[in-house]
Chain A
């Protein structure tokens, strides 16, 4: 029986999230103090050494990212917390922020010290207006207590645009623009918000930081899978008995999460597929259920760890119907800046609908295969590059379901 391990949710249920005194009593803001005693370079080295990799989906070494901004001499730098969790089936950032907002603020403040930034933004999705209020209260409390020092944090609200989860699109949105991604390079740690070096990290990433500073890189890197150490918060949805969230070490397998925490497929039905990492994640068939939940192992099977969404489909589900719905999602959420995504997501939706409605033919599979292949490589940002993944992985693992639509 696998076990949960709570690092980012270390205070879950133990403190009143809107009482900073509780957080402090639980050891909060000690890490920030310790970090400041370490010096910037040593702090960044420690984070780098912990091998904490970004929890938003891209899996980049956090300390390394910070070092890019740290190395630049300029009058202003920014720390941005990406709380635009738009991946369908994901609500882990909400759980973290709702239950322990101060841990995120502290993580941001540590980052601010490390890179030399005195201003932070939390970009919270527009779907969470209550969360915005809560965060503002938490910030007010931290400021009142002087916990953040000279580091200022402001909350900005998204407006319902999945594309803004992409860090450069998110930056555009904070600047008050259309949330369309920028081409890269330059990357945000070098040229980001208002042209200044900017670290954008996910809520979960920041929530890990105080624990790492507090207990040390060696402690952290020993947890879970060595290539992607630590834990991952997963949100379990779909045809699963326990629709809940769990935080597990990164050497936990998909099967363990499904059965040990999720209680197996709901209603005693048989498993058909699980889509992990959000709506752009690959569909995983039974054969891969022993894969561990970390970035590299998931990549190796053509899937992603992504945001930690864990969407289970039982034997009764029509995979093509679900993927058609997902294709519609991408057509709706494409920002429209680059050609292959703007036009491609629309055509993918049309073809998937046609196939799902039994009006398609085998040539449609070739079309989608080619379109998917091109989008994966040629789109401007991660949204377009990942969008074809559900189509491509289901055509690979569940081809019969497509073929059955042509009978």
Chain B
């Protein structure tokens, strides 16, 4: 047990104890004495500059700032002596003298520290009236109003931008009275490098930085705060929805958020307004004579029940397929797979994990026995000594994880990034390996080759924890540095550097994402990352592991819930007899025997005519699946399609019935983040269509003849937990109190942040040697440019396009083109250009940048006007079926 020695001192005559190294302010807090402070923020480095927290210390002629003054034994402190109060009053008067006193209409009133302290110390006005700042208000962007006339120069925004985000967009300009916390050259936020994460707003103690969405919407004391989980990306950030008059008006940091603290990205803080887009669907739509017509719920349910049942009767259970959603709640995914299996009688249930992390599930299950992230996000900053990133762009795709990595790197953790594109972290890394697209296996094999050759492998770990090592060793032997360098384009000496660093760092965490999985060899890529980690014993303890970061808020959960063709919830195989019997009994229906279809197989089957009807919940495969034109053709061939959605998406256009969905703010439930942590989603406002998705599913399925009735999503979770040993210990009650990682097998089980301690889920870890498999389609004479795709920071796969603010700052696809290519075609940033592959052709806008290599362009897939996936490759991972989004051949021209 750690024994902390307490130092004894007196504060206001009371003897108190505090740990060595505490400041006076901390010691006072421990003793329940609140000292006023403006620049102190426990999440930021100390500044000691506002001087409001000064105290009197016996023997010191000055009044030291308690936030930076260490305690010593026998110290005698007065926190409210006459001199201290005079100092505080005077300092407040000085601040008030240069602060607009428009508190009556200030949006921060009620949450303004300056106002609170002025009230406490009776500062009504200032005897120091004089010159005041007359700064122009920065209203340049859709998210943040910056009124620096209200700035008290506590520097919290500057420190947050540097220390929490690492964007370094703010510093101080000028000096003395004219000192100003602002951007480089004092330009407006919109013209600066601001990423609009809004951390500056979250830490601002006054009305200097406020959320534009909340301007004039509510007094702070009228705002109801509802803690919930972010609906974008898999990080699992929490925040509070600010609600007034039954309407969400903002998103506010909640310091008790287990994953993110107060950090958020632009999407979480400002992207929620998609829910109020005027394009939201509010009533069911039935397609009549090729046109959608608004319908009542009963009419819609009747039609759905009739057609699904008819088609099943006519073509058999396997003519039906369902897609659940990585964006909906766990409970909704659970219900979707449940009715697919119990009522429709088929295992044809999947969701878009197949389009992204199916190779992770397949690959890591092969290697370790569990498809999930082995370690947790907090270890990035608390444990890791090396972050090894391959095929992952965290600051854009999972910004809060990216911020944490940057923070760790700045605090001394090594950072190695393997990426063909110069991502932000690649540019900041200690070593950046710029491998050619689609050469991850040879790169990883090459690193293993060096590690083995130099005897740096973890021999004991290999001997006691793994199998099939000899085959691995034999294969790695063929990947000599010279050969690997030739295939990957990475310099031999860099291969050595990284191999040695990774192998010799005790706590090295490996991260990857879609840059690994979305390849023809995606699953083999994943297994190669796993091979590297096993070779060096980087598994089963803190600060190591193989960490796939999930792209969507509940892609982990949708998998966990069994919205997959081969498993029930908790990864219980549909071919396992016991599991099958358990479900038959619980659900009162026979369970299908055969493993169902994966997404690409479903669409192939629809195209071939064996799948006849589909139910799609909150997914938009037309926009997000590769080779989109093929998907469209498949959807057209279906006899009956139901889509449950927030918007009339590209996919919904093909539906016979569209059911209006509820946004994350309009329903209760849970999302499970990338680190296996289920967290509550709390309903903040009533659903726009009147019903939450889980209610709609229950009503629809009941109408189909299979009764489903729950009073609250908590009951759905409870049913799931009762059927899933790995989540049996997690309940809604527990989630309100603490956040745990599954496996968690009983109510008193603490959860499992780190997998594979002492033993892999599959017993011994299995080396899976893989040969290099080049991408299915590479540039050639006719299509000479390589197209790589991914996500941008401002957008999520879907929904963010409907956010007015985000659409304003990132309204269109911006295709990254290397200056060499741009010069050939006379393109400049902003030029229209056409991109054509063997499958389709789209018009986009050029962004000339050397982030990409010559001969490569890079596009995101967020914009309906530029449907990038009409271009992408038809090749899929041979094991997991995931599309090769990362590489295909195109040609480009000016448009």
Contact = CB atoms under 8 A, between A and B. Distances in A.
Interface of A: 161, 163, 178, 183, 185, 331-340, 342-347, 350-351, 363, 367, 370-371, 373-374, 377-380, 385
B83 A339 contact: no
A392 B267 CA distance: 54
Interface of B: 46-52, 54, 61-63, 65, 68, 70, 83, 86-87, 90-91, 94-95, 97-98, 127-128, 130-131, 152-153, 172, 174-179
A170 B94 CA distance: 27
B48 A339 contact: no
A61 B50 CA distance: 31
30 contacts: A161-B175, A178-B175, A183-B47, A183-B48, A183-B68, A331-B177, A334-B177, A335-B175, A335-B176, A336-B178, A338-B49, A340-B90, A340-B91, A342-B153, A342-B179, A343-B95, A343-B98, A343-B128, A344-B94, A346-B130, A347-B94, A350-B128, A350-B131, A351-B128, A363-B127, A370-B86, A378-B54, A378-B62, A378-B90, A380-B65
B412 to A, nearest CB: 12
Interface centre among A163, A178, A339, by most B CB within 10 Å?
A339
Given A339-B91, A380-B48, A333 B176 contact: yes
A339 B87 contact: no
Contact of B86 (A343, A346, A374, A385): A374
Given A183-B65, A183-B68, A378-B87, 19 more contacts: A178-B172, A183-B48, A332-B176, A334-B175, A336-B153, A336-B178, A339-B91, A340-B51, A343-B177, A345-B177, A346-B176, A370-B86, A370-B90, A373-B86, A374-B86, A374-B87, A378-B54, A380-B49, A380-B65
Contacts, number: 107
A374 B87 CA distance: 5
B49 A339 contact: yes
Contacts of B87: 340, 374, 377-378
B97 A347 contact: yes
Q: What are the 5 A-B residue pairs with the smallest beta carbon separation, nearest first? A: A336-B179, A183-B48, A343-B94, A350-B130, A334-B176
A277 B127 CA distance: 31
A336 B90 contact: no
Contact of A380 (B51, B52, B177): B51
A345 B90 CA distance: 13
B83 A346 contact: no
Nearest to B60: A377
Contacts of B179: 335-337, 342
Given A185-B70, A334-B177, A339 B130 contact: no
Contacts of B86: 370, 373-374
Contact of A377 (B46, B63, B68, B153): B63
A230 B423 CA distance: 62
A300 to B, nearest CB: 14
Contact of B175 (A336, A351, A373, A385): A336
B94 A378 contact: no
Nearest to A376: B62
A380 to B, nearest CB: 6
A342 B176 contact: yes
B72 to A, nearest CB: 11
A367 B128 contact: yes
Contacts of A367: 127-128
A380 B83 CA distance: 16
A335 B176 CA distance: 5
Interface centre among B95, B97, B176, by most A CB within 10 Å?
B176
A344 B48 CA distance: 17
Interface centre among B47, B87, B98, by most A CB within 10 Å?
B87
Contact of A339 (B62, B95, B174, B175): B95
Contacts of B48: 183, 338, 380
A6 B54 CA distance: 44
Contacts of A373: 86
B863 to A, nearest CB: 42
B63 A378 contact: yes
Contacts of B127: 363, 367
Interface centre among A183, A347, A373, by most B CB within 10 Å?
A347
Contacts of B98: 343
A335 B177 CA distance: 8
A371 B90 contact: yes
B713 to A, nearest CB: 50
Nearest to B67: A183
A339 B174 CA distance: 15
A305 B52 CA distance: 31
A339 B94 contact: yes
A343 B154 CA distance: 13
Contacts of B91: 339-340, 374, 378
B83 to A, nearest CB: 7
B177 A183 contact: no
A335 B153 CA distance: 12
Contacts of A370: 86, 90
Interface centre among A161, A335, A343, A379, by most B CB within 10 Å?
A343
B726 to A, nearest CB: 47
B127 to A, nearest CB: 5
Contacts of A161: 175
A385 B62 contact: yes
A340 B39 CA distance: 13
A183 to B, nearest CB: 4
A382 to B, nearest CB: 10
Contacts of A185: 70
Contacts of B52: 339
A141 to B, nearest CB: 37
Nearest to B179: A336
Given A331-B176, A336-B176, A339-B152, A377 B62 contact: yes
B51 to A, nearest CB: 5
Contacts of A340: 51, 87, 90-91, 94
B175 A371 contact: no
Contacts of A380: 48-49, 51, 65
